[in-house]
Chain A
């Protein structure tokens, strides 16, 4: 079946602009996670949801970052007033309630000029 999908795959924006990154989890997956991966590093946790409830947002770097999952399926990660240091690969993962296995999407490569 279809895996986790993310859009756009690539996003180039100018400093100061807002961006919205979308994640479509595997159908039926209850849990959804957002990570950020810098080049040559492991994924770094940002936030996660069970259904529509945001369970943990301790990894969000600052208040310019926010995420939502209003209907418990698709999630949007929004970065306001982007800065060059926000440039990274943003990855989404999902899992079922009964499993620890997280399935990762292909990521969105964000470049802030």
Chain B
């Protein structure tokens, strides 16, 4: 089955700097890669996703890149702000209406 590895487990960046979180996956059939943000006491919330037919996707300060050959994908947050502090999960899924396999999460701290 699919296995998603995520690193780093903890990341601290100065406010205004960029943050990068990297993930790898094992199942070459996976074709949907969402990223979730989880704030304390809340459920995961989708922030951006990418499909296997696209190499990069941007949404304001957030971007995701995908390298299908190498089976890795990354989340980039630019101009970080205090409200970006949270746990971020990468995930992979094979097809629509299928289970999502999550990474173990990255705790992002934005330092003032």
**Nearest Cβ on chain A to B53's Cβ, whole angstroms:** 13
Bitwise interface map of B from 44 to 60 toward A, beta carbon under 8 Å scored 1, else 0 = 11100100000000000
Q: Besides the contacts A41-B104, A48-B97, A101-B46, what 12 more A-B pairs have beta carbons closer than 8 Å? A: A41-B105, A42-B91, A43-B89, A48-B99, A56-B99, A95-B97, A99-B96, A101-B34, A103-B46, A104-B43, A106-B43, A107-B43
Candidates A50, A97, A101, A106; contact of B42 at CB < 8 Å: A106
Is residue B73 within 8 Å, beta carbon to beta carbon, of the partner chain?
Answer: no
Q: A55-B97, A95-B97, A97-B97 are in contact. Are A42 and B89 (CB under 8 A)?
A: yes
Q: Is A18 an interface residue (CB 8 A)?
A: no
Residues of B that sit less than 8 Å from A by CB: 4, 6, 32, 34, 36, 42-46, 49, 89, 91, 93, 96-105
Q: CB within 8 Å of B: which residues of A?
A: 4, 31, 33, 40-45, 48, 50, 55-56, 59, 91, 93, 95, 97, 99-107
CB neighbours of B32 from chain A (8 A)? 100
In the assembled complex, the Cα of A106 lies from the Cα of B43 at a distance in Å of 5
**Contact call B103/A100, Cβ cutoff below 8 A:** no
Residue of B34, B89, B93, B102 ringed by the most chain A CB atoms within 10 A: B102
Determine if A50 and B97 form an interchain contact, defined as CB atoms under 8 angstroms apart.
yes
Q: How far is the CA of A74 from the CA of B77 in the complex (A)?
A: 37
With A and B bound together, what is the CA distance between A91 and B99 in angstroms?
A: 13
* Interface residue from B34, B43, B105 paired with A91 (Cβ < 8 Å): B43
Can you report 25 residue pairs joining A to B where beta carbons are below 8 Å apart? A33-B99, A33-B100, A40-B105, A41-B104, A41-B105, A42-B4, A42-B6, A42-B91, A42-B102, A43-B44, A43-B100, A43-B102, A45-B99, A45-B100, A45-B101, A56-B99, A59-B99, A95-B97, A99-B96, A100-B93, A102-B34, A102-B46, A103-B46, A106-B43, A107-B43
The 5 A-B pairs of least Cβ separation, nearest first, read A42-B102, A104-B43, A45-B99, A42-B89, A104-B44
Q: Are A104 and B101 in contact (CB under 8 A)?
A: no
